[in-house]
Amino acid sequence: MKKHLFLFTVLIFSKALVNEVRASLLYPVVVSTWPFLEAVRAAWNAVDGGFSAVDAVVEGCSACEKLRCDGTVGPGGSPDENGETTLDAMVMDGVTMEVGAVAAMRYVPEGIKAAKLVLEYTKHTMLVGDQASAFAISMGLPGPTNLSSVESIEKWTKWKDSSCQPNFRKNVIPRDSCGPFHPNGPSIRRCLMDNELRPNEFGSVNVGLHSHDTISMAVIDQIGQIAVGTSTNGATFKIPGRVGDGPIAGSSAYADAEVGACGATGDGDIMMRFLPCYQAVENMRLGMEPKLAAKDAISRIARKYPNFIGALFAVNRNGTHAGACHGWTFQYSVRNPGMNDVKVFTVHPQ
């Protein structure tokens, strides 16, 4: 009897040890849109040092904000029609499914930390505008401060000198100046045939690699918990008050620790109509591998908007990852226990 008990104990211990070793080979994992190497390294150093998935996501996105990645993350980039920079950010805990987000936030340079404050200290999901700024400052973040930079003001000035073109207005007059804008007569929306497209609605003409971008990051920590986060200063020359997909859970990012995570980037005004990251995670829940899950989520948008520009990555709970894109070549960055440093993966349009 003692011998059997001993063997049973050894078997249980061995199984636990195997599971621990297997987990140590899988985790932690950091995945991010674009070759934002320093952001991924910051997140990796945090999670490899024992930080939670949520805290590691904040560390990674915060590094990108400080570096002003591509001029499209953090303060100092993407001026709106008034020449002002505002921030959108989001954090999602894939274990509790809690979300904290801020949108159209002025005067506070640390968007991702403000989003985490919403997650940690409120029962809300999102705060917006000046009230989001006041909340973040009241909770200890620095501000108020001007989020514009010499570069963003120069970009805005050049745009003004070009009669404020391109812009995001439609069906307004005057068409070739900076406003004020008024509706161009009554808006009449007739029925369309199935194969007929509305001009100016089925493309991403104002969106390019350096005019509109987001860091979207997923982290699986040492015990397999998953979180995602995003940070962006939105579309260049956007209409003041515009909120893109960055702070929208399920659009720019989504996480469920039972399944996996997703991060997206591109024309948020189109992508947020489809919640592509929610779709990708749900695809994985149904048994799809990350590659097929990502491709399916992107193709759903492309069928309706064949000229849109966008991309996403999907990573399952075991750390297997893949990407899909439409309208541009996409790159995403990964660090896991099998790598000595961050590795960049390139995905071509499907």
Domain presence at residue 183: no
Domain presence at residue 31: yes
pLDDT of the chain, 350 residues: tens digit per residue: 555 555 544 444 444 443 444 445 689 999 999 999 999 999 999 999 999 999 999 999 999 999 999 899 999 999 999 999 999 999 999 999 999 999 999 999 999 999 999 999 999 999 999 999 999 999 999 999 999 999 999 999 999 999 999 999 999 887 678 989 889 865 544 444 444 444 444 555 555 555 557 899 999 999 999 999 999 999 999 999 999 999 999 999 999 999 999 999 999 999 999 999 999 999 999 999 999 999 999 999 999 999 999 999 999 999 999 999 999 999 999 999 999 999 999 999 97
* Three-state SS annotation for the chain: CHHHHHHHHHHHHHHHHHHHHHHHHHCCEEEEECCCHHHHHHHHHHHHCCCCHHHHHHHHHHHHHHHCHHHCCCCCCCCCCCCCCCEEEEEEECCCCCEEEEEEECCCCCHHHHHHHHHHHCCCCEEEHHHHHHHHHHCCCCCCCCCCCHHHHHHHHHHHHCCCCCCCCCCEECCCCCCCCEECCCCCCCCCCCCCCCCCCCECCCCCCCCCCCEEEEEECCCCCEEEEEEECCCCCCCCCCCCCCCCECCCEEEECCCEEEEEEECHHHHCCCCHHHHHHHHHHCCCCHHHHHHHHHHHHHHHCCECCEEEEEEECCCCEEEEEECCCEEEEEECCCCCCCEEEEECCC
Task: For residue 122, indicate whether it is catalytic.
Answer: no
CATH at 263: 3.60.20.30
- Model confidence pTM above 0.85: yes
Residue 180's Cβ-side half-sphere holds a number of Cα atoms within 13 Å equal to 1
- Residue 59: closest CA among 41, 78, 33, 73: 41
With a CB cutoff of 8 Å and minimum separation 6, the contacts of 347 are: 311, 322, 323, 324, 325, 329, 330, 331, 332
Domain span at residue 232? 23-148+207-347
Domain presence at residue 199: no
Name the active-site residue from 214, 232, 236, 265: 214
Asked if 230 and 215 touch (Cβ cutoff 8 Å), the reply is yes
Report the alpha-carbon distance of residue 65 to residue 89 in Å, rounded: 10
Longest Cα–Cα distance in the chain: 91
Domain presence at residue 258: yes
Domain count, the chain: 1
In the numeric block, the tokens 């990407």 are attached to 323
Domain presence at residue 185: no
Provide the token pair at 336. 């896991």
Domain presence at residue 174: no
Asked if 89 and 101 touch (Cβ cutoff 8 Å), the reply is yes
Domain presence at residue 265: yes
Residue type, 236: T
Provide the token pair at 280. 């990708």
Domain presence at residue 162: no
